[in-house]
Structure 1
Amino acid sequence: MANCRPTYTVCATVVTGLEPGALEECREMFGPNTRGKKARGKIFFELDSLENVQQLSRLCSVDKYSVVVADLKQLLMDVSSKDVVLEMFESLPRKLIWTSALDAWEAYYGKTWTSSKTHNYSLPNNNGEQLVPDDLHTHTLSEIQAVAVPSIPHFKQAEVKKLSDLCASVLEHDRTTSEDDRTTFRVTCTRSGTNHCVSSMDVAKHFGSGIVVMFGWKVKLVDPDIEVLVSIVDNDCVISVALTQDSRHIRNITHFGPTTLRSTIAYGLVRLAKPEPGEVVIDPMCGGGSISIEAAIGWPLCCHLAGDMHELATPRTLANVEDVNKQRATECGSPSISVGVIQWDVTQLPLKAHSIDVVITDLPFGKKVGKKVDNWKLYPNALLELGRICRPSTGRAVLLTHDTKAMTQALKANFHLWRKKWISWVNVGGLKTAVYELVRTKAIE
């Protein structure tokens, strides 16, 4: 029978509402046949090699990613006995197959995890099968011998002695292993759903206790080597090993404003616009420049412009672009990005008519900056000006806003310039926010 290649199931957290684009990016990077599925705020996909695992950091839609150890269904999270559930989680690590997830962790970080309690010691029985004493590392030598010797009555005395010596060497290795050599870890548990009889902290504590028994790892809550994730949704549970320590949503941004857009959301908006090589892409209300920077990195063959009316926005965007280029200069083969930055008023842009192909911007919500009442005047005037500069028929816009009432009124006022193609919903800072995909009509005026 042919050997089956190992697969590595990746769980990636993404912005709720942008899951389809994230899964599409995975298939573009790892091949169109990449198997995957979407969940709320997450995508799951399979990789067939450790080389692909090492390329995960290139994904731009993903906040965090981990390698799945087990996807368990219908756990008894709602039973009346709390002790039964906690005992289940404490014994669970010994029942799981960790090989693929730990191999992926080693490949991603380029280092090897160590343990004082992981050995491949076994002894053949009379049938030629391998015998491994149960819970070899959780008992004293006398306890192991008491269990092992009666259970193998057909062993020769020399074989029994060999097993006893083997147990003694394992326990001695455990006692002499330096604390500094042990892999450190922590367990992070998240739960959603109702009728859970245990808390997230209880689950993390007992599951972590089981890991200590199995691997001999050392608990470290701050900056551990390995973070084990336990995600519980109703009665289902996904256990995984984290590959990212920090969320990647703040990449490429070093100078923040009051409404700086997450980089992963910015990238998702650009993907929706689908810029083509040679097209002119602008963000007329750029803030800190998140959208233009992600667009310039991912679509370098387009021309990128960014601007804002606020006097601090354009210097902030320039500073972020410069810092990105400094970082890329230290990376082999990473060319610098080019973004034109101008201070302007979105209702009076210094651009020729019909000169822009794509508009992507984060409209003011009227919460942290400005007031919602101001949007009733700003939105219609902005759409009118954007309709002037966009190319008829082929021009398009992707606009993010929480103020859907003002946007609806603005679209009615500019129905001759813009046709609504699609509305999707994303989570921005806990707010249900709309993404409008608009297409420029054929109207010249």
Structure 2
Amino acid sequence: MDVFTLLNKTLHDSNLLTFEATVPTGFESVAMSEVQQKLHVDLDNGCKSRGRIFFNTPYNNWHIVMKLRSVDKVHLLSKGFQDLKFTGVMDNDIMTIKLLSTCVNWQKTISVWDRVNSFIGIKYPSMAEYIVAKEIETKIKALSESFRDSGLSSQILDDLANKACAMDLNYDNVQLEMKKLQQYNLSLLQPECPNSSTINKTQKKLELKEKNALEKIMYNKLDKRNKEEKVLKYRVTCLRKGDHCFGSQDAAHHFGGELQDQYNWVVDLSHYDLNILLCIMRDELYCGVTLTKESLHHRNITHFGPTTLRATVCYSMLCLGCPNLGDIIVDPLGGGGSLSIEPLLLNTGLTAKWCTPVPEQPGGGWVEPQQKPGQVQTRDRRLVKAKPNRLGTGHGHLLPVWWAGCAMVGDEDLSPCQLP
């Protein structure tokens, strides 16, 4: 059983869909077991490979697929092609890829994607609607990128964005206004680092992330259109394995270009609504759309730290552990709390007991630091010992200094817990 066999089954059944789900490597069997349990998928309608699983399920089960707890990203596959026999000549092979894009029933796939993401806008625009949307998108992106690199404070940029909308997004006039603001507000410019060469890679990544976030904010402020007036924006992501005379970007560019000619969608690599997935494995190819806007492992995470575990990994570990009644599940690192949250969501017969942060003043709180010789201390991650009869989890467990939790399997009702 492989993905192409699954896709062939959906060709003659309009109610049957083929899904691809990415999973943490090593936990494919856990994810497939969850699919079989919740979707009642038999062995003839599912398969797995490294880091991903494939399965067929009826259309009405799409909402269950989106709630699977062991998978990261979910893709809806449209069609697969085998024995493509690439010639090794770039022009010929690219033409083959372009022709394949027209052999896919995209309407069926887009209808499911629309149902999942509740897209409000124009899915199939006319050429006139595309031209107007493309012109507006070009203006907005050019201005948002200029604002991102201007160095002005966010308050000044907000005022400038309002003026830009009043000027009908006239790029030249807005640029003149921006230069005036830069000249008269030098004190508000972000200071440049004198030794930029000494900035490590982590700081540069953070700065780039902040700039991209600022660009997105400015983009949304400049875009005053109603959602119903916006034309669908898309991009193509190509995953390629094997030796080919073309690159992944070449395949994505030409495959997506053919779709643009066919449906008049607006190409946008950063602010896209629809992500087309194109997978090329030697002489085989399959395509589809991404249903998840971000990986599902972010569901319990607000900030990443040195001990943060992905929720999908925590769920899979718990499934492999098979906790029984009376077992205590301890989260010793307490990075994001997922190891304590996931068992509560996995089984409604669990009870949560939480430890509060240790206050700075001595003698306060539910736990007290106990220095032990030979224990490694890094930054603020000191080990502490819980006081007896205070946490309900027994005493003697080593817990992190900021907070930690554990879930105890029992017959009590699900107790509400509040994260610190």
**Common topology (TM > 0.5):** yes
- RMSD over equivalenced CA pairs, Å: 3.7
2:178 aligned partner: none
1:232 aligned partner: 280
Tell me how far 1:202 sits from its aligned partner.
0.3
**How far apart are the structure 2 equivalents of 1:176 and 1:254?**
39
Contact preservation (8 Å) 1:280, 1:303 = no
Contact preservation (8 Å) 2:300, 2:336 = no
2:299 aligned partner: 251
**How far apart are the structure 1 equivalents of 2:90 and 2:231?**
32
2:128 equivalent among 175, 187, 192: 175
Q: Does 1:108 align with 2:116?
A: yes
Q: Deviations over 1:203-235 (max 9, x none)?
A: 010001110122121111112121101122233
1:142 aligned partner: none
Q: Does 1:191 align with 2:240?
A: yes
Tell me how far 1:112 sits from its aligned partner.
6.5
**How far apart are the structure 2 equivalents of 1:84 and 1:305?**
63
Structure number with greater CO (CA < 8 Å, separation at least 6) is: 2
Contact preservation (8 Å) 2:280, 2:286 = yes
**How far apart are the structure 2 equivalents of 1:97 and 1:116?**
14
Letter of the 1:174 counterpart: M
2:22 aligned partner: 13
Tell me how far 1:351 sits from its aligned partner.
7.8
SS in 2 for 1:182: coil
Letter of the 1:94 counterpart: T
Q: Does 1:44 align with 2:54?
A: yes
SS in 2 for 1:285: coil
Contact preservation (8 Å) 2:89, 2:245 = yes
Tell me how far 1:310 sits from its aligned partner.
10
Contact preservation (8 Å) 1:63, 1:247 = yes
SS in 1 for 2:279: strand
SS in 1 for 2:66: helix
Q: Does 1:25 align with 2:34?
A: yes
Q: CA 1:31 to 1:249, structure 2 compared with 1: closer, same or farther past 3 Å?
A: same
Tell me how far 1:249 sits from its aligned partner.
1.6
Q: Deviations over 1:87-143 (max 9, x none)?
A: 1112221112223312211221234674556xxxxxxxxxxxxxxxxxxxxxxxxxx
2:314 equivalent among 266, 270, 285: 266
For 1:395-406, list aligned pairs within 5 A: none
Q: CA 1:176 to 1:241, structure 2 compared with 1: closer, same or farther past 3 Å?
A: closer
Contact preservation (8 Å) 2:277, 2:287 = yes
1:400 aligned partner: none
Higher helix share: 2
Structure 1 runs of 4+ aligned residues shifted over 6 Å read: 306-312, 348-352
Q: Does 1:80 align with 2:33?
A: no
Tell me how far 1:307 sits from its aligned partner.
7.2
Tell me how far 1:301 sits from its aligned partner.
1.3
SS in 2 for 1:95: coil
Q: Deviations over 1:159-202 (max 9, x none)?
A: xxxxxxxxxxxxxx533665354321110112223x22111110
Q: Percent identity?
A: 30
The two structures have a TM-score, normalised by structure 1, of 0.53
1:96 aligned partner: 104
Q: CA 1:88 to 1:311, structure 2 compared with 1: closer, same or farther past 3 Å?
A: farther
Contact preservation (8 Å) 1:286, 1:308 = no
Letter of the 1:265 counterpart: V
**How far apart are the structure 2 equivalents of 1:36 and 1:232?**
20
Q: CA 1:7 to 1:213, structure 2 compared with 1: closer, same or farther past 3 Å?
A: same
Tell me how far 1:345 sits from its aligned partner.
4.9
Tell me how far 1:63 sits from its aligned partner.
0.7
Q: CA 1:13 to 1:310, structure 2 compared with 1: closer, same or farther past 3 Å?
A: farther
Contact preservation (8 Å) 2:46, 2:54 = yes
**How far apart are the structure 1 equivalents of 2:287 and 2:233?**
18
Contact preservation (8 Å) 1:232, 1:238 = yes
Tell me how far 1:277 sits from its aligned partner.
5.0
Contact preservation (8 Å) 1:275, 1:302 = no
Stretches of structure 1 that go unaligned for 5 or more consecutive residues are: 118-172, 313-317, 319-342, 362-389, 391-445
How many residues align? The count is 270
**How far apart are the structure 1 equivalents of 2:119 and 2:94?**
32
Q: Does 1:70 align with 2:79?
A: yes
Tell me how far 1:280 sits from its aligned partner.
2.8
Q: Which moved more, 1:299-308 or 1:55-64?
A: 299-308
Contact preservation (8 Å) 1:81, 1:197 = yes
Contact preservation (8 Å) 2:121, 2:230 = no
Letter of the 1:39 counterpart: S
Tell me how far 1:293 sits from its aligned partner.
1.5
**How far apart are the structure 1 equivalents of 2:247 and 2:274?**
22
Tell me how far 1:72 sits from its aligned partner.
2.1
**Which is higher, the Rg of structure 1 or of structure 2?**
1
Q: Deviations over 1:25-78 (max 9, x none)?
A: 1122212548211011111111212x311333211111101110112223335x
Q: Deviations over 1:354-385 (max 9, x none)?
A: x99xxxx9xxxxxxxxxxxxxxxxxxxxxxxx
**How far apart are the structure 2 equivalents of 1:234 and 1:308?**
54
Contact preservation (8 Å) 1:184, 1:226 = yes
Tell me how far 1:304 sits from its aligned partner.
4.2
Tell me how far 1:344 sits from its aligned partner.
8.8
Q: CA 1:311 to 1:213, structure 2 compared with 1: closer, same or farther past 3 Å?
A: farther
Q: Deviations over 1:358-416 (max 9, x none)?
A: xxx9xxxxxxxxxxxxxxxxxxxxxxxxxxxx9xxxxxxxxxxxxxxxxxxxxxxxxxx
